[in-house]
Amino acid sequence: MSIFDVQKLDDTIFNTLAEFQVVAAKASAVEKQAAAKNLSDEVRDKQLEGLTMSNGSRVEDYALVFTLPCYDEIELIPGGGDRGVALANAQDYVDLVLHHSFHETVKLQVSAFKKGFNSIFPISSLAPFCHASCGGGDLESIVCGSASTAADWSAEALTKHIDPDHGYTRKSPQYLHFIRYISEIPAASRPAFLKFLTGSKRLPIGGFASLSPHLTLVHKKENPGQHPDQILPSVMACQNYVKAPTYSTYEIMKQRFTYAVAEGQQNFTLS
């Protein structure tokens, strides 16, 4: 059994994840100073070596791997059982555990609810509410969102309703590439892209303008030794945040987003 006691799931796991996040942020600050030539390699290594949790332990002392705590059979990334958690990838581990805890498990609960509901009141009986006689599916649009139009996906409209932040501005090449990428997505591929971004295959009535908060592109920082082109984009659907590093070219960015959308593999680095 790992250090995470199943009966103390909430306290132990989430307190430890919070401490991991703190030391990961401190490590990132040290690396920034070193990159700016404000620290020598020797001082940087010493400071990183000294980053510990409140109990004096280092991230590596926990001997964790990229599997869901208390569920060794659930890998957070392909081959996660063989990848150790260290200071350099602690933030990735935190992101993945939270994603699986609050997203993947909810999908199972929703599936169970649908099964139970269907056993009492067949879901197919709701079909009349989506019939053309209801004004072309107005009720469906209100509940499920509206089918997007070509105008919603124009570069001009996207620029108005997608914001840059945390490292990007409206003049940043990465932001401009992101707008271009979305505007060029074929109509047949848009539902999958929207599901990747927001968890829903449809936009709300009003399109991107009605997303609350607005869809926002933010800078995703790489770990020491990583190249931005190796990193896949990720999202925080609850905040409509899209996190992407500074890819070297538009084509690389397009490839990484297309792969992430198709495979659903978020927040891990390509080998």
Q: Write out pLDDT tens, residues 60-83.
A: 999 999 998 888 888 999 999 999
How does DSSP classify residue 269? B
Q: Phi and psi at residue 44, in whole multiples of 5°? A: -60, -50
Full set of structural domains in the chain with CATH: 6-105 (no CATH), 148-263 (3.30.2410.10)
Beta partners for 75? 67
Selection from 269, 210, 208, 265 nearest residue 235 by Cα? 265
pTM as predicted:
0.47
Q: What is the arrangement of strands in the sheet containing 215-219, beginning at the earlier edge strand?
A: 162-165, 215-219, 241-244, 234-236
Express each pLDDT in 74-127 by its tens digit: 899 999 999 999 999 999 999 998 888 777 767 777 788 888 888 888 877 766
Q: Which band of pLDDT confidence, cut at 50, 70 and 90, is reported for residue 263?
A: confident
Express each pLDDT in 161-176 by its tens digit: 999 999 999 999 999 9
- What average pLDDT does the segment 257-269 reach? 68
Percent of the chain with pLDDT over 70: 83
Pair 149, 207: CB distance under 8 Å: yes
- What average pLDDT does the segment 3-18 reach? 63
Q: Which band of pLDDT confidence, cut at 50, 70 and 90, is reported for residue 138?
A: low
Selection from 265, 168, 270 nearest residue 222 by Cα? 270
User: CA–CA separation, 136 vs 119, rounded Å?
Assistant: 29
165-170, long-range: CB < 8 A, 24+ apart? 165/216, 165/217, 165/218, 166/218, 166/219, 167/218, 167/219, 168/217, 168/218, 168/219
Query: Does residue 238 carry a catalytic annotation?
Result: yes
